[in-house]
């Protein structure tokens, strides 16, 4: 029982987060105050949303490097709509954001499915295209806080039961996709396609179609996050969330989602995001430049991939040993 607990990525990651918080608290006790931890969770909510979408894509043996560009383009479009038509209800803005993000995700999915282009090539290309479109529609200009309506900016900040709406969106998304991945046919298909594509094909699953839906979900979550990001920070510009795709991939890999596909949980992705979120918020507190976050994220990816690869080899040896004993 103890070995099973200590070998669980979620348990180990939870322990690492607790140790990290304890170390910071030795110098700054107020960092672990409930109100501050709630702020850390709220700051990490956009990363959690994108990590869940990325996790689903990675489960199917793919990767989506365009999520941050999708977020940026959706955020710019919703900001420009708000400036041009300040009276448009937030519900309509949310619908536009999710729809636009979904379309961009579908584009990625179709290129991977129908044209059989490697996912990393597709999403590198669309990432550049999306950033270029932002420049074209905005003419390189920013949309600033004073140009946005109060209702547009208020939605992610509005508190419900003591937590901002942004945090509640992340919590509800975590619950929803935990159910989708564990209780639905589509969720099981994501694992089957990533775990063994050939076997999945024999059981009647179409690998390309399943990957298409994974990219579609990732795009929808990126679109939703685009509006939430721009409205929360009250600014939109070409390079918004630049490089954020690295944090998203890092959160997934740290959370135990295998880049080989078929392995991972929503809980792992959330814990991976929270681990990075705690680091990001703790660095300024302990007088370390936030620019180190990129280096830490990159190092975390390498270490996590190495750990995952070693775990896979260990499992393989155990299976072989079992087979030898059975013979």
Q: Low-confidence residues of the chain, pLDDT below 70?
A: 1-7, 290, 293, 297, 308-327
Six token digits for residue 19: 């140790």
Asked whether the beta carbons of 145 and 235 are under 8 A apart, the reply is yes
Strands (DSSP E) found in 155-230: 159-160, 163-164
Please list, in sequence order, all residues whose beta carbon lies within 8 angstroms of the beta carbon of residue 84, skipping any fewer than 6 positions away. none
Q: For residues 276 and 291, what is the distance between their CA atoms, to the nearest angstrom?
A: 13
The Cα 20–Cα 142 span in angstroms is 37
Q: What are 211's two structure tokens?
A: 């990957």
Angstrom distance (rounded) from CA 132 to CA 127: 9
Q: Are 160 and 168 in contact (CB under 8 A)?
A: yes
Distance CA 148, CA 152 (A): 7
Q: What is the pLDDT of residue 290?
A: 67
Rounded CA-CA distance 300/52 in Å is 18
Q: What does the domain layout of the chain look like in residue ranges?
A: 40-321
Q: Work out the burial of residue 166: count CB atoms within 10 Å of its CB; fewer than 13 is exposed, 13-18 middle, 19 or more buried.
A: buried
CB proximity list for 257: less than 8 A, separation 6 or greater: 55, 58, 59, 263, 264, 265, 268, 269, 272
For residue 298 the two structure tokens come to: 């990159």
pTM above threshold 0.85 = yes
Please provide the CATH number assigned to the domain covering 40-321: 1.10.3470
- pLDDT score recorded for residue 310: 67
Q: Residue 278 in contact with residue 20, Cβ under 8 Å? A: yes
Question: Which of 220, 266, 202 lies closest to 48, judged by CA?
Answer: 266
At 280 the pLDDT is 86
Q: Tell me: the pLDDT tens digits for 57-102?
A: 999 999 999 999 999 999 999 999 999 999 999 999 999 999 999 9
| Parallel, antiparallel or unpaired: strands 163-164 and 159-160 | antiparallel
């Amino acid at each position: 029982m103890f070995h099973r607990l200590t070998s669980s990525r979620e348990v180990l990651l939870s322990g690492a987060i607790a140790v990290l918080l304890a170390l910071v608290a030795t110098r700054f006790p107020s960092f672990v105050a409930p109100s501050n931890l709630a702020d850390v969770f709220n700051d990490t909510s956009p990363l959690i949303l994108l990590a869940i979408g990325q996790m689903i894509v990675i489960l199917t043996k793919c990767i989506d490097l365009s999520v941050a560009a999708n977020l940026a383009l959706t955020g710019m479009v919703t900001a420009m709509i708000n400036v041009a038509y300040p009276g448009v209800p937030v519900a309509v803005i949310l619908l536009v954001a999710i729809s636009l993000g979904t379309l961009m995700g579908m584009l990625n999915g179709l290129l991977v499915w129908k044209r059989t282009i490697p996912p990393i090539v597709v999403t590198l290309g669309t990432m550049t295209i999306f950033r270029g479109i932002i420049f074209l529609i905005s003419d390189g200009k920013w949309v600033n806080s004073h140009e946005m309506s109060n209702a547009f900016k208020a939605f992610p900040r509005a508190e419900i039961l003591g937590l901002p709406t942004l945090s509640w969106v992340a919590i509800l998304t975590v619950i929803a996709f935990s159910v989708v991945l564990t209780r639905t046919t589509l969720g099981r298909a994501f694992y089957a396609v990533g775990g063994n594509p050939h076997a999945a094909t024999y059981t009647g699953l179409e690998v390309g179609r399943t990957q298409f839906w994974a990219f579609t979900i990732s795009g929808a979550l990126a679109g939703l996050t685009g509006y939430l990001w721009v409205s929360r920070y009250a600014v939109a510009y070409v390079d918004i969330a630049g490089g954020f795709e690295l944090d998203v991939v890092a959160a997934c890999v740290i959370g135990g989602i295998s880049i080989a596909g078929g392995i991972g949980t929503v809980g792992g992705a959330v814990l991976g995001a929270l681990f990075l979120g705690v680091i990001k918020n703790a660095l300024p507190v302990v007088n370390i430049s936030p620019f180190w976050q990129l280096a830490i994220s990159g190092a975390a990816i390498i270490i996590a991939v190495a750990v995952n690869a070693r775990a896979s080899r260990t499992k393989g040896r155990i299976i072989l040993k079992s087979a030898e004993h059975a013979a």
